[in-house]
Structures are given as C-alpha cells and as structure tokens.
Structure 1
Amino acid sequence: IISNCVINLSPEKEQVFREAFRVLRPGGRLAVADMVSLAPLPLEVREDLALYAGCLAGAATVDELRAMLAEAGFVDIVIRPKDSDQLLEAWGTGESLQNQVFSAYIEARKPIK
C-alpha cells in the first residue's frame, strides 16, 4: 500500500492503519509519505481549516504514529524524516510551524505469521 500526504487528513488514523493491515497479504508492506509533528500541535493549529487542508494541522507525532501502527499489528516500523524546509516555506507556514512539523517516510510490514 502506498500513500502520499493523505493519512494526516483522516480524523480516524487508527482505523486507516487497521484497514491497511486488514487488506495486506502476510508480508505486505505499507509505504507512506506524510506530515509528522515533533510534539502535539496547539489547538489553534489543529482547528485551522487552511492548515488542515494544507496537510499540516492533522499531523500526528512520531510516537503516536508508531503506536497506531503497532496496535494495528504492523512490525518493522520505520519513520524517517526527510528535508521539509522548502516544502514548508512554499506553503507559507511561518517559522514557528517549520520547527514543529516535517515530512517523513513511514514504512511498516504485516508479519508473515
């Protein structure tokens, strides 16, 4: 399963990962590029519709993503940051959000047994 900057838009990320796990064959892989936050985002950011539509306000933390993937049953979970400065500048997010949100590659595997 591949996904690019979509899961952060879902208010039910846990369900997204459970469904991905359900449809994958044993040994199947999940490969996602998405926005991730360093810490829980402030309420004013999470409620900003423009930032939500811009894939920023719905970003989960690394720990939250890792827990959701593990709870869904995934193993070999890797969350690898990628350079996001130019992307965030192009979105005009401002300096403060650039220090809170980044793009990451998220990989996980459904166990064979």
Structure 2
Amino acid sequence: MYSEEVDLCSRIGKANWSLHWVPHAQIVHYGGQSTQQVAASMFLRLYQGKVIYFRKNHGAPTSRYYKLILLAAGVARLVVSPLALFEHAQRRKRHLALTKSYWQLLTHLPSF
C-alpha cells in the first residue's frame, strides 16, 4: 500500500525476471477503503514508505536527498497555505486538512 509495488518491480528487475504490461486488463480500485478512517496516518505512512524504499534500493544518501525534497515541498505548502482562506468553503476545508498533514509530515520526517 505504501510503495510495495515499486519495490516488487525493482526486485523483479534485479532478479532478471521480466515484467509484462497487459494493456487491456482492468482493475477497479475502491480508493482508500482500507485507510479511510486514518487519513493523516495514511499520509505519513505513504511518505515513510517512499523513504524506506529509497534507503533500501538506492542507499542512505538518496534517502536523505528525498527527505530534503519532502522538507522543501512541505515548507512551500505551509508558506502558501494562508491563500486557502480565500477559497470556497469546501476547497478551503480540503486544503487546510492537507496543510495539517504536511505539518505532521514535517514534524515526523526526522524519524523516517
């Protein structure tokens, strides 16, 4: 759920197996069904999973570089977040919730 599919594809490639794309295959994704009630936790685990993927497959320096990118993106989000006050109520609510998630990401980032 949190970058495992990327890790699996990477391991398949390293094992010299092949991946096949089936263009006519269809999958129905009922988004967020397993994590619906824990959106903030899901947000943190998503990025934590990506940091773990980079550390495992590309080394600690790449993982630290990715964390710096997350830090910059989070700070940028917080800088522009006051603009949400001028949005329509529904968009403002979503935007502020996302801003809160980015704040939590920034506070948890050192522990990843």
Normalization by structure 2: what TM-score? 0.35
Name the one with the larger strand percent: 1
Name the one with the larger helix percent: 2
Pick the structure with greater CA Rg: 2
RCO higher in 1 or 2 (8 Å CA, sep ≥ 6)? 1
